[in-house]
């Protein structure tokens, strides 16, 4: 990105948190994402790299499967710098696709399989997708929109592809029965896909740490969907930081439970690429059930558990395994949203009761910085904090209006500078320049849109969001984007959306709608909800709809969404 080329001279920021580290920093080489992982795979060829429903894949077989996937991608015309979209839950095939795309010098565009049809279409068009690797659970949506894109081939994978035999059969007779099979020339299923490329030869395409490698998705500052362009160096920097932060992990003993999805920075960067580079086994979970989380922990016995707050809150109410033993856990981390001290105490009480040797750690980050930028290790784990910056990252707290750094313990906007900060938003210079700004010290700082403070020791405390946003089950949900979609329905005159509390998801969107006069008295709720389901991802569809004759306004005539929040709070307090 052009903004990176403007840096001439960097001044070293104030970094009081460095007292907690015994190293000065990290160095990022020019390995690609694939090359960094390959080094570990060649070092530990016989150790398990992946586990999926109890079935293990060694590091040597991981490399073979990636090569097989890569040969077939080449057979179907993939070239360096092309975009391949991967739309899948956490399965081995999605991992193979991700690394094969990178090995060939192409760009992996990772999207949510529960995205709405129109969202998927926009992702495929905006990212100039040539090949689509998609789970069969999404095929009905793909069939509706694929003709409007320039996708040349749809490569169909399935959650059952790598399941043990009996589970494969069971899946086919239950969930798989509802999956539609498409027999068209531009669709190819996994078995034929791999067979088609068996005679191809491939080699690793070299790159640099600044080479674009991955596109993830977020709402940015305005809430409109944006592609977040991440580099090889972003992913490998996270791995280098983790060598220091997670120094207790042993490739011969340890594993991580990868519940967080591969289309999410947490799932792809923190829970998949980083542990594979550390030689730690990745236990892939394609579908998570909060009600049976304790059963999953009991069965897999992971060393590392990373998730969003709702996951750990659900754990405290689990009672399937009364004598659950968590004594093997070395790291247990919550991210994606903040937890109150009362909830942290409740979770830690549960962990202690079940022999967990550590307390819950909290992290802070955003997709624009590959999800993880700070963590609460050891002495940096002050109550209510999100810890200290990962080594190599810098934080500062600034006045949102002047960008002048504030004093310790004063509130301001959290800004981040470091090797995991994105290249920018794909084909969106205005939004990129809005969040990536060069300050007087010559550094590029990512403006988070979050309010917090840093104490005199360099420990970060998150307080609230500066931008209007809802975090539901760890996913960012942007009211303004939902409002724009609902406003397109022919029955809607005006609409506003707020977040309301939810026992499990923490927050969910609620839509307040004023109908056009022609539609008053007609039941349109079902129609509007269906419209939302078609155009919005699942977690963005309003949980509640309320129809009103008018909406409260501010003195300058804008919808007063804060007044609606107050009304909802009052109503719930009465209940």
482, containing H or E segment:
helix 479-486
* Residues 6 or more apart in contact with residue 412 via CB below 8 angstroms: 397, 398, 399, 400, 405, 406, 451, 452, 453
Q: How many CB atoms lie within 10 A of CB 1?
A: 18
321 located within any domain: no
50, containing H or E segment:
strand 48-52
* Whole-number Cα distances in Å, 236 to 10, 95, 133: 22, 16, 24
Residue where one domain finishes, among candidates 192, 207, 222: 207
| Residues spanned by the domain of 532 | 474-574
Note the pLDDT tens digit of each residue in 260-311: 999 989 999 999 999 999 999 999 999 988 889 999 999 999 999 998 887 8
Q: How many CB atoms lie within 10 A of CB 344?
A: 19
Residue 61 has pLDDT above 90, yes or no: yes
Note the pLDDT tens digit of each residue in 537-568: 888 999 999 999 888 876 555 678 888 988 98
Q: How many CB atoms lie within 10 A of CB 248?
A: 11
* Nearest in space to 276 (alpha carbons), one of 480, 473, 66: 66
- Domain CATH for 107: 3.40.50.980
Model pLDDT, residue 221: 47
Residue 222 has pLDDT above 70, yes or no: no
Q: How many domains does the chain have?
A: 2
Residues 48, 218: Cα–Cα separation, whole Å: 33
Residues 221, 446: Cα–Cα separation, whole Å: 11
β 304-307/331-334 pair status: parallel
513 located within any domain: yes
Model pLDDT, residue 4: 46
Q: What is the rounded average pLDDT of the residues 333-337?
A: 84
β 153-157/544-547 pair status: unpaired
More confident residue, 572 or 564: 564
536 located within any domain: yes
Note the pLDDT tens digit of each residue in 370-406: 999 999 977 668 888 999 999 999 999 999 888 899 9
More confident residue, 326 or 118: 326
* Residues 6 or more apart in contact with residue 200 via CB below 8 angstroms: 71, 72, 74, 75
Model pLDDT, residue 472: 86
Residue where one domain finishes, among candidates 207, 242, 260: 207
- Domain CATH for 541: 3.30.300.30
SS (H, E, C) 453-466: EECCCCCEEEEEEC
Residues 16, 23: Cα–Cα separation, whole Å: 14
Residue where one domain finishes, among candidates 207, 234, 261: 207
Q: CB-based burial of residue 572 (10 Å sphere; 0-12 exposed, 13-18 middle, 19+ buried)?
A: exposed
179 located within any domain: yes
Residue 16 has pLDDT above 60, yes or no: yes
499 located within any domain: yes
Residue 1 has pLDDT above 50, yes or no: no
Model pLDDT, residue 506: 84
457 located within any domain: no
* Residues 6 or more apart in contact with residue 352 via CB below 8 angstroms: none
Note the pLDDT tens digit of each residue in 18-60: 999 999 999 999 999 999 999 999 999 999 999 999 999 999 9
Which stretch of 62-66, 169-173, 505-509 has the lowest confidence by average pLDDT?
169-173
Total residues found in the chain within this entry:
575
201 located within any domain: yes
Structure confidence at residue 5 as a pLDDT band (50, 70, 90): very low
Residue 6 has pLDDT above 60, yes or no: no
Residues 509, 471: Cα–Cα separation, whole Å: 9
Model pLDDT, residue 551: 87
Residues 365, 207: Cα–Cα separation, whole Å: 26
Positions of E strands within 503-543? 506-515
Residue 378 half-sphere exposure, CB side, CA atoms within 13 Å?
Answer: 10
Residues 216, 205: Cα–Cα separation, whole Å: 21
522 located within any domain: yes
Four-residue CA torsion sign, 515, 517, 523, 527: negative
With beta carbons less than 8 A apart as the criterion, state whether 101 and 84 touch.
Answer: yes
The model's pTM is 0.86
Model pLDDT, residue 219: 56
């Amino acid at each position: 990105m052009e903004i990176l080329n403007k840096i001439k001279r960097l001044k070293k920021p104030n970094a009081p948190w460095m007292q907690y580290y015994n190293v000065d920093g990290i160095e990022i080489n020019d390995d690609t994402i694939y090359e960094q992982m390959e080094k570990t795979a060649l070092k530990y060829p016989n150790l398990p790299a992946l586990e999926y429903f109890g079935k293990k894949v060694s590091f040597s077989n991981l490399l073979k499967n990636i090569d097989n996937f890569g040969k077939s991608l080449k057979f179907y015309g993939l070239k360096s710098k092309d975009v391949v979209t991967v739309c899948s839950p956490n399965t081995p095939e999605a991992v193979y696709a991700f690394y094969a795309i990178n090995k060939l010098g192409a760009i992996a565009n990772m999207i949510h399989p529960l995205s709405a049809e129109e969202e998927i279409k926009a992702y495929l068009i905006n990212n100039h997708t040539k090949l689509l690797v998609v789970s069969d659970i999404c095929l009905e949506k793909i069939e509706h929109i694929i003709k409007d894109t320039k996708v040349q081939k749809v490569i169909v994978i399935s959650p059952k592809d790598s399941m043990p035999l009996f589970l494969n059969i069971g899946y086919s007779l239950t969930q798989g029965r509802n999956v539609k099979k498409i027999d068209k020339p531009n669709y190819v299923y996994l078995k034929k896909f791999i067979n088609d490329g068996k005679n191809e030869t491939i080699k690793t395409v070299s790159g640099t740490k600044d080479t674009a490698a991955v596109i993830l998705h977020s709402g940015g500052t305005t809430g409109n969907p944006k592609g977040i362009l991440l580099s090889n160096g972003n992913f490998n920097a996270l791995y280098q930081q983790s060598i220091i932060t997670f120094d207790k992990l042993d490739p011969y003993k340890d594993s991580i439970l990868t519940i967080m999805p591969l289309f999410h920075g947490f799932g792809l960067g923190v829970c998949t690429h980083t542990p594979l580079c550390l030689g730690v086994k990745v236990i892939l979970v394609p579908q998570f059930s909060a009600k049976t989380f304790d059963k999953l922990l009991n069965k897999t016995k992971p060393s590392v558990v990373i998730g969003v707050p709702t996951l750990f809150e659900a754990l405290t109410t689990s009672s399937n395994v009364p004598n659950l033993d968590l004594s093997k856990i070395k790291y247990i981390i919550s991210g994606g949203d903040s937890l109150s001290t009362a909830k942290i105490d409740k979770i830690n009480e549960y962990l202690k009761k079940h022999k967990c040797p550590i307390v819950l750690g909290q992290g802070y980050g955003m997709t624009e910085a590959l999800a993880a930028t700070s963590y609460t290790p050891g002495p940096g784990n002050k109550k209510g904090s999100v810890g200290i910056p990962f080594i190599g990252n810098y934080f500062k707290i600034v006045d949102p209006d002047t960008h002048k750094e504030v004093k310790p313990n004063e509130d301001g906007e959290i800004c981040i500078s470091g090797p995991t900060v994105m290249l920018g938003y794909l084909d969106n210079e205005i939004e990129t320049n809005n969040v990536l700004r060069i300050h007087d010290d010559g550094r590029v700082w990512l403006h988070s849109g979050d309010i917090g403070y840093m104490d005199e020791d360099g420990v970060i405390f998150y307080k609230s969001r500066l931008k209007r946003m809802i975090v539901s089950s760890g996913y960012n949900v942007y009211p303004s984007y939902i409002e724009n979609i609902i406003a397109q329905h022919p029955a809607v005159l005006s609409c506003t959306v707020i977040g309301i509390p939810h026992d499990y998801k923490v927050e969910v969107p609620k839509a307040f709608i004023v109908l056009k006069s022609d539609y008053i008295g007609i039941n349109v709720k079902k129609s509007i909800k269906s419209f939302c389901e078609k155009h919005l991802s699942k977690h963005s569809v309003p949980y509640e709809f309320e129809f009103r004759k008018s909406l409260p306004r501010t003195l300058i005539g804008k919808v007063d969404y804060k007044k609606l929040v107050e009304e909802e709070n009052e109503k719930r307090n009465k209940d």
